[in-house]
């Protein structure tokens, strides 16, 4: 499935924001296909606290792939622009594979 976020804003309305990432991907233990197919076309994330941009809760050995576009994080009056490509995905959500049991 392909998902596109176009000219959207995510804002943390909580008085005491949590340190969890605003963008989260999950896999199931039995999953073998990679996760992805998300395009960010002008997404803005307004933050009240510094936290990771993206997180991957990986219960399998799959990867996050095929993310694209651009997004902006606004934190304490500072704007940081990101180009969403595979290099950013690999840096923010590296896959840690467990060694096979003998």
Task: Report the pLDDT value the prediction gives residue 100, as an integer from 0 to 100.
Answer: 46
Residues in Cβ contact with 56 at an 8 Å cutoff, skipping those fewer than 6 apart: 24, 25, 26, 27, 35, 64, 93, 95
Q: Are strands 3-6 and 35-47 parallel, antiparallel or unpaired?
A: parallel
Q: For residue 79, is it left (φ>0), alpha (ψ between -120 and 50) or beta?
A: beta
Q: Please classify residue 55 by burial: count the beta carbons closer than 10 Å to its beta carbon, then call 0-12 exposed, 13-18 middle and 19+ buried.
A: middle
Reported pTM: 0.80
C-alpha torsion 27→31→35→37, nearest 10? -130
Sketch the domain layout of the chain as residue ranges.
3-92
Task: Provide, rounded to the nearest whole percent, the portion of the chain with pLDDT above 90.
Answer: 49
CB 95 within 8 A of CB 82: no
Segment 32-75, tens digit of pLDDT: 888 899 999 999 999 888 889 999 988 888 889 999 999 999 99
């Amino acid at each position: 499935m392909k998902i596109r976020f176009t000219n959207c804003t995510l804002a943390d309305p909580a008085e005491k924001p949590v340190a969890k990432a605003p963008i989260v991907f999950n896999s199931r233990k039995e999953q073998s296909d990679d996760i992805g197919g998300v395009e960010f076309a002008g997404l803005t994330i307004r933050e009240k606290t510094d936290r990771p941009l993206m997180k991957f809760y990986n219960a399998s050995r799959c990867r996050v792939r095929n993310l694209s576009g651009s997004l902006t994080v606004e934190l304490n009056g500072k704007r940081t622009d990101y180009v969403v490509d595979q290099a950013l995905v690999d840096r923010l959500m590296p896959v840690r594979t467990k060694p096979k049991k003998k």
